[in-house]
Amino acid sequence: MRVLDKPGVQKAQYIAHKLIMVYIMRMKTRKQTIEHPITNLERLAAELRKIRRGRKVSQQELSDRAKVARRTITNAEGAENVGVKELCRIANGLGYELVLRPKDTVVFEELSTTFKDDE
């Protein structure tokens, strides 16, 4: 009888194969971070993540502050479907507020880049 024909070896190989398959599936389904945001939602998500990480606040801490589920923080940072109410709570939890403004409006923080070409 060969070693591979023994029931214990086959079971170990089967388990190892299953573990490898689970790992591969997790890597395939893991959401990639947005490197170059395109839409307003993607820009908002990237900014929320950047602010949270800059303040060294975990997703769990922010969810406690904002009184939303941690999964809501994950969804917001991943540009997934999150309600406006939850987005406002998350922004408030970071010390910010969400404001609507016309697209062509320049805000103070953007003045240096807006008039950069004039110099």
More confident site: 7 or 94: 94
12 is written with which tokens? Answer: 């170990």
> What percent of the chain is predicted at pLDDT more than 90?
43
For 37-89, the pLDDT digits (tens) are 578 888 899 999 999 999 999 999 999 999 999 999 999 999 999 999 999 99
Chain position carrying tokens 């900014």: 47
100 is written with which tokens? Answer: 């609507």
For 17-32, the pLDDT digits (tens) are 777 777 776 665 555 5
> pTM, whole model, 2 decimals?
0.61
**pLDDT bracket for residue 13 (50, 70, 90):** confident
d(CA 10, CA 4): 6
d(CA 13, CA 5): 11
98 is written with which tokens? Answer: 């969400």
